[in-house]
Amino acid sequence: MTRCDVCAAEWTSRKWEHCRSCHQTFSGTRAGDHHRIGPHEPAGARRCLGAEEMAAAGMWSTVSPHGVLVWHGERSKAGVAHRRDNVGAEQ
């Protein structure tokens, strides 16, 4: 069991990644990478995406048995376009 002392999130999977900046949890390194946007320089220019921004970019979340919200997938403009296509098809 891994636990974050700051936000008290708990998880068992070693693959999961927990951001020590925004305290969101990710199902893997790739999903974690995709919640950070902006340039590495200057310091502070790079930031974390919020839940709404990640959802809009095609990522999705589930809730673990321990009650931790976990983000999956990766940010992609194609994912956003795909979601819009689906909405259009239903109308």
Closer by beta carbon to Zn ion, 54 or else 58: 54
Contacts of 3 (CB under 8 A, 6+ apart): 9, 10
- Rounded to whole angstroms, the Cα distance separating 57 from 81 reads 9
Closer by beta carbon to Zn ion, 14 or else 86: 14
Closer by beta carbon to Zn ion, 50 or else 81: 50
3-state secondary structure at position 28: coil
Pairing type for strands 25-26 and 36-37 reads unpaired
Least distance in angstroms from the C-beta of 2 to Zn ion: 10
- Using CB under 5 A, list all residues that contact Zn ion: 4, 6-7, 9, 19, 21-23, 48
Least distance in angstroms from the C-beta of 45 to Zn ion: 14
Closer by beta carbon to Zn ion, 14 or else 90: 14
Least distance in angstroms from the C-beta of 25 to Zn ion: 8
DSSP code of residue 50: P
Least distance in angstroms from the C-beta of 22 to Zn ion: 3
- Rounded to whole angstroms, the Cα distance separating 59 from 83 reads 11
